[in-house]
Amino acid sequence: MTEKGLADVVAAQTRVSDIDGKLGKLWYVGYDIHDLAEYSTFEETVFLLHNSRLPTGEELEQYTERLVEERELEDFTKGLFPTFAEVSAPMSMLRTAVSAASAYDPDGWDHSAEGNERKALRLTSRIATMIATYHRIRSGEEPIPPDPKLPHAANFLAMLTGEEPDEEAARALDICLILHADHTMNASTFAARVVASTLSDMHSAITAAIAALKGPLHGGANERVMEMLLEIGEPEKAGEHVRKLLGGGERIMGFGHRVYKTEDPRATHLRRLSRELGELAGDTRWFEISERIEQAVMDEKGLYPNVDFYAASVYYYMGIPIDLFTTVFAASRVAGWTAHVREQLADNRLIRPESEYIGPRDQGYVPIEERR
Ligand code: COA
């Protein structure tokens, strides 16, 4: 009999990332997330996850160029966005857009390791363009073409808002993308690996991952956090709100984690970014409410904030619409998903666990006319 939710079950061996939940540590390929958040960039982190080492200066330049070249959507995918803008919620749009993009991918039928590497890079680059294109069209505005001079995070914000972001916002988003890029065997990564293990294809695996990320127990929590902050409205009301929710048996979104039993190391950076962006905006209200909630949840339940909690106010300060928060998570995690798919395929065996049957046995079949 396994633990419910496969807790503590090791589902794969990986070289991509590792967590120590007791110590609150996260590493990508052995590099501490604190160092990556301080010194790395999203582009370099993508290289690290996919090549299992840091690039040289020249390699990073070439890799960045490849990512830049892959930003534009092909006409077929672009043509779907007016419909998405009209009828699809953001995560549903992204799930369908990634699935649809497989139709005209230049490597569509190439399942070789090289083809998969190119598809991984293409998807990692284009998801940001998909989100921005969707948002511009639904807002009644022209999509902004990618700016090859800007790094990935700054270009993402520019395509979304129509303005080149200031340095602080661009670096803050860059750090967010680094922090969310991978996280061992989380539900969406597991979903991606299961699909890959059937020797399906890269786009199918990433489509499945997006579908898993969408749920409020996984990536969807960040949007719920911001809705809660807005509902609370003032720092003084935070404690009471938390006690009321917990008293009613509700979960506080952005708290608790299957693996971390102490502070999630990503939350440490996001808390700081929330404060800094709040100070920069001259409005620290959302940061202050968050801090009060954190204190109240700790007092009442002894739970720590997870990655989604402070990410909410950080994205809000950047001017990212709330219903796009989970898609921003996807724009980063695609780096890890695609790395895991490639790793799975490099040494594949079909993922096919057992189940424990707990239903009735030896039932006699009763003809329909004799059933009551
Ligand atoms: N608010 C209130 N109580 C919480 C909680 C939260 N956010 N997260 C966990 N708990 C409580 C549960 O009620 C349970 O208490 P009980 O034993 O008294 O019933 C206990 O902590 C263990 O919770 P459980 O659901 O078994 O943990 P899990 O490992 O299955 O779930 C999460 C992990 C992340 C799904 C869970 O913490 C959660 O639902 N968090 C809110 C959603 C969220 O922020 N998701 C983003 C994750 S990065």
Question: Does the Cβ of 308 fall within 6 Å of ligand 1?
Answer: yes
d(CA 151, CA 277): 20
Q: Which atom of ligand 1 is nearest to the CA of 254?
A: 44
For a mutational test of ligand 1's pocket, the pick from 4, 217, 246, 264, i.e. the residue with the most ligand atoms closer than 8 A to its C-beta, is 217
Per-residue model confidence as pLDDT tens for the chain (372 residues)? 678 999 889 999 999 999 999 999 999 999 999 999 999 999 999 999 999 999 999 999 999 999 999 999 999 999 999 999 999 999 999 999 999 999 999 998 899 999 999 999 999 999 999 999 999 999 999 999 999 999 999 999 999 999 999 999 999 999 999 999 999 999 999 999 999 999 999 999 999 999 999 998 888 899 999 999 999 999 999 999 999 999 999 999 999 998 999 999 999 999 999 999 999 999 999 999 999 999 999 999 999 999 999 999 999 999 999 999 999 999 999 999 999 999 999 999 999 999 999 999 999 999 999 999
User: How much distance in Å is there from the Cα of 208 to the middle of ligand 1?
Assistant: 23
pLDDT of residue 216: 86
Q: Which residues touch 166 (CB under 8 Å, ≥6 apart)?
A: none
d(CA 18, CA 183): 7
Question: Does the Cβ of 324 fall within 6 Å of ligand 1?
Answer: no
Which positions are annotated as active-site residues?
A: 218, 257, 308
Burial class (CB in 10 A: 0-12, 13-18, 19+), 208: buried
d(CA 189, CA 10): 13
User: How much distance in Å is there from the Cα of 255 to the middle of ligand 1?
Assistant: 7
User: How much distance in Å is there from the Cα of 250 to the middle of ligand 1?
Assistant: 10
d(CA 312, CA 180): 13
CA distances from 144 to 19, 101, 117, 132, 162 (A): 38, 19, 27, 8, 6
pLDDT of residue 226: 97
Please state the pTM of the whole predicted model: 0.95
Which residue's C-alpha comes closest to atom 39 of ligand 1? 217
